[in-house]
Amino acid sequence: MKNNNKKVIVGALVGLCTTIVGTFLYLIFVSYQRNASLGAVWDFAMNGSEISSVVVFGTALNFAAFFGFLRYNKESHAKGVLIITIVTGIAVLIHKLLA
């Protein structure tokens, strides 16, 4: 059972890393499209209360990690990615309701 928990934690860390990388890639894409600097896009997202939308688009990269783990029969790892995706979704929902 302990080994299974480690696998879930590894999957959660992968899910967290893919969310961060996906968010960064989305910000780079938007900055390229708007011909603006990355810092300007980040400031706009933070000041305009659009950061939750940016994180949601960044979380889309979790699909690749989730289905990749399922393809190689790593269900415990996929469970960790799913947990991070759900937690991110709840955090975005709370942010949208409070902002």
pLDDT at 80 (0 to 100): 95
Burial class (CB in 10 A: 0-12, 13-18, 19+), 5: exposed
User: Residue 69's closest CA among 18, 11, 23?
Assistant: 11
pLDDT at 4 (0 to 100): 83
Q: Which residues of the chain have pLDDT under 70?
A: 1
pLDDT at 52 (0 to 100): 86
pLDDT at 13 (0 to 100): 96
pLDDT at 1 (0 to 100): 65
pLDDT at 3 (0 to 100): 80
